[in-house]
Amino acid sequence: MEGVKVALLFGAFLCSSYAYEVSVSCMMAYDEGGASAVFNSPECHFSAAIKNGTDNCLVATHQGRRKYQEDRITCYPHVTVPVLDEDGPNEASMGIAAVFDGHGGKEASEMASQKFLDYFLLHVVFNTYKNLFSHSKEHEEAGQYSLKFKVDDESTHGILEKALLRTIKDIDSEFSQEALKNDYISGSTAIVVLWMNGQILVGNLGDSKTLLCSRKTHFYQDSKGDLVTRLQAEELTRDHHPDRDDEKARIEAAGGVVLVVGVPRVNGILAVSRSIGDIRLKRYGVVAEPEVTGWRRLSTEDWYVVIGSDGIFERMSPQDVCNILRETSIDSSSCPSSSSLADCIVHNAFSKGSSDNLSVVVIPLRQEQA
């Protein structure tokens, strides 16, 4: 009886933000084929939560000196997701930002940017539903009929992390089928940042970077007698280059080789060892499994999270990027041609001679912590 009550409660709650049906056949489609199976099923009706677009994010992108722009950006600072609290289903707000750096064509990065949010939210919804149903079933079998739930940040964070991993897996699987059908050779890196309740999670595959720029006070004085403060850069991701020991071991175990052609490349072709797509190199150890940092609590000294494609870092170090943010926050005239902090970073990377596509997302943290 309680299972029915909980199912009805959950359905009524979700109808306030989502339009879909969690029927038995729809759940079976999800279990068998993931997000794409749900969206392609005539029996399942799902639309994404109400969300704000990139006009509320600090983003910038530039084709640079390449013939084509293959980077894509996704950024939604306020997305409504279902969560479980003590009294049952509820709603919470979180932020999602991602950079997809395509290569060999724009097809992979285009699909990833278009599908990521809807697929991610679907995974959150369905796994929250499963947790709710499992909880109610356990209580019913134990003869307990209270609708109180024992939940914490770990259970919510676990669902969000699982949703991120499943989303990348589904996009890679769907794109691989499209690539075989249309003879695409393209691929894409992916770097995703989730933030919620003062904590962040980063998932990465490829060689884009996520930085944390944190305020550090140095105990010496400048010419005006003031203590010197700077924004110190911390890389939250590790590049997936084929010559990284663990990446090289996987490639060689799969029968691939790492050859230096300008830079280390898988079979002398691909300069990253993890990516969406690149179907011709999947058999040689290239995988679409993100490396995840784990949730990290932010402090009041953390000012910015920066997500950038590798073109940003071709001629600038992570510390250079944080220095730009610090200088621009003090004196906006230090980057007169820019209209935002993100524009300023792209402008500097291009002016320093970067030859690649340039894309960056800047997430100001102090307003999130206020």
Q: pLDDT for 242-254, tens place per residue?
A: 999 999 999 999 9
> Residues 75, 97: contact at Cβ < 8 Å?
yes
| pLDDT confidence of residue 2 | 40
Look at residue 118 and tell me whether its pLDDT is greater than 50.
yes
186 vs 12, residue with greater confidence: 186
pTM: 0.87
Beta partners for 58?
A: 362
**Cα–Cα distances in angstroms (integers) from residue 111 to residues 81, 171, 276, in the given order:** 22, 8, 10
- Give the C-alpha separation, 327 to 81, whole Å: 36
Look at residue 103 and tell me whether its pLDDT is greater than 80.
yes
If we measure between CA atoms, which residue out of 310, 96, 98, 298 comes closest to residue 214?
A: 298
> Residues 123, 46: contact at Cβ < 8 Å?
no
Beta partners for 361?
A: 59, 307
For 157, other C-beta atoms within 10 Å of its C-beta total 17
pLDDT digits (tens, 9 = 90+) for 172-222: 999 999 999 999 999 999 999 999 999 999 999 999 999 999 998 765 555
| pLDDT confidence of residue 20 | 47
**Cα–Cα distances in angstroms (integers) from residue 295 to residues 299, 311, 357, in the given order:** 13, 27, 30
pLDDT, average across residues 227-231? 80
